[in-house]
Chain A
Amino acid sequence: MSKLSQFSRSLAIVKKDMLIFYLKGPVVIMGLLFPFFLFGAFLIGRDLSHEYLFVALIAMTAFFTSTAVGPTIIPWEARSKTFERLISSPVSITTVLFGDMQASFYFGIIITSFISLTAIFLGIGVNLLIFIPVVLLSILTFSAMTILMSSYPPTDVPADVMMLSSLVKFTLLFISGIFVPLEKLPWYARAVSAISPLTYMVDALRYSVSMRGYFPLWLDLIALLLFSLIFFFSGVFIHKRVLEKRFT
């Protein structure tokens, strides 16, 4: 079976995900309203530069939209017994998961692109040569993260995964230098930040709005790339390992 035809079949999975999961009200609301809400809370009573706000807004939007649905897709399919059907067709598990990842990716891109237009209203100059690759790579990383999140435990209760993934997401949100810049953190908090992919996105975005970053830009990009590869392939590996547990 050629890689190309598996890729084109993964697009069928993207379409299915878009039709079933992304056009649903609650999903859009959770993915969209939520970052705005947080952002508002974050704004109140603080005197922050427009650049600083823009970076926080984009990072939160990208992070929440691209992780809104991904973790629950496979548990949901297992529950509604469509999963068995899907994987008995001539596509590999990797193809199915690659399709699910792409769905998260495209959804994240679409929404984040719209939100990026706020730069115009805030009157910020954005270096698109940095901004676009950073946003694409970051959203890819977060989408890959959803594959890992849905892999374990092999439950068929979407709410369980939802809870676990929310826990992880919020933890990451608070250790990623969005609310307090990295250089102002004590050394141990900085060490914790280093394990969050969101940290590198926020850092790299600062370069795109001509603020100083903490790490060199190349390091941010490499870190994001490595995270995306590790997330996706470890996710696929675990999914394959626990596959049998999903049929009861």
Chain B
Amino acid sequence: MSVEIIKAEHLKKYYGNFLAVNDISFSVHKGEIFGFLGPNGAGKTTTIRMLTGILNPSSGRIEVFGMDMKKHKIDIRERTDIVPEMANPYIDLSAMRNLRLMGRLYGMKGREIEKRSIELLKLFNLYEKKDTKVRGFSKGMKQRLSLAMAMLPDPELLFLDEPTSGLDVMSARLIKRIIREEQKKGKTIFMNTHNMQDANELCNRVAIINHGKLIAIDTPEKIKEIGAKSNVIEFSLSPFKFEGGIVEGRVEILGDKVKVYTGEVDETIKKIVNYAERENLKIISLNVEKPSLEDVFMALVGEKNE
């Protein structure tokens, strides 16, 4: 089928006696945005560090572009770049100098660096700040610069560790838009996130990881189907009144809205309608929804994510 860009086989990582990543295997295909989704401490950063060759796996094997990570670390890195978890350009250097440094480390020519840096600074709305020291940048600006630095050598494969976490809305939106544009240019993106919404919006496939173990790996739609048995029926009655006991399944009351999680759509709706007629209530709204990725994630991970 499609070309495998990353192939990870039975990766394990111990920190001392603590098993942070527990025997995970997966592959990432050319041109996809692959999401690594899991709560804090799940082992996402550890995995990305193994995939970028910073940490050696305790056991298992990594291939990127068909090359063994152990033998071809530098060759692989020529074609990849990363935005690590913390936005971390050099704060004592200007945005432009940070870009130049990255360009040099990737062996780019001076002219090429200048040209592409300016394009990227404009793309990330940082052009006016190009000669300002990063020390004064907001978190969102630093993250945008970080992504610009990663994109400077035009890598085929980008690793992003929680790229939008804790950012202002504008920066997050801009970054997501640019990630999508990179995909359109044929780039492959491996992205860590603990944010269901981002995974849902951006990723072609998602792997769910918890306590170092892979629990599921599929498209967001397919993963949602795992939980498809539990549809969500949301409705509102006026004047508001509802007795949970009349329907089966989990019931949540939020203000004047009721949410029922159930596998029996037909039966549940009939019961609600009957109840409304009997009690002489008006149905203001009634929707049947598929569970969100978050609902499924919580069902799978079995705990609240923050």
Q: Interface of A with B (CB < 8 Å)? A: 1, 5, 8-9, 11-13, 15-16, 19-20, 80-82, 84-92, 243-244, 247
Contact = CB atoms under 8 A, between A and B. Distances in A.
Contact of B88 (A12, A15, A80, A92): A80
B273 interface: no
Nearest to A2: B107
Contact of B97 (A19, A84, A92, A243): A19
Contacts, number: 72
B140 interface: no
Given A12-B101, A90-B78, A80 B54 contact: no
B55 interface: yes
A51 B77 CA distance: 53
Interface of B: 49, 52-56, 74-75, 77-78, 81-82, 84, 86, 88-93, 97, 101-102, 104-107, 149
Contact of A90 (B77, B89, B97, B149): B77
A84 B92 contact: no
A16 B92 CA distance: 10
Interface of A is mostly: helix
A14 to B, nearest CB: 10
12 contacts: A1-B74, A5-B107, A8-B104, A16-B101, A19-B97, A20-B90, A81-B86, A85-B149, A88-B81, A90-B77, A90-B107, A247-B55
Given A80-B88, A84-B88, A90 B106 contact: yes
Contacts of B88: 80-82, 84-85
A91 to B, nearest CB: 6
Nearest to A24: B92
A8, A80, A81, A85 pick with most chain B CB within 10 angstroms: A85
Nearest to A90: B77
Given A9-B107, A20-B92, A15 B74 contact: no
Contacts of B106: 89-90
A86 B89 CA distance: 10
Contacts of B81: 88-89
A162 B88 CA distance: 23
Contact of B105 (A1, A12, A20, A80): A12
Nearest to B97: A19
A8 B110 CA distance: 13
A86 B53 CA distance: 12
A15 B49 contact: no
B248 to A, nearest CB: 49
A8 B107 contact: yes
A15 B77 CA distance: 22
Nearest to A96: B105
Given A12-B105, A82-B88, 15 more contacts: A1-B78, A9-B104, A9-B107, A11-B104, A15-B101, A15-B104, A80-B91, A88-B77, A88-B81, A89-B77, A89-B102, A90-B77, A243-B54, A244-B55, A244-B56
Given A19-B92, A19-B93, A88-B84, A12 B54 contact: no
Contacts of A15: 101, 104
A90 B54 contact: no
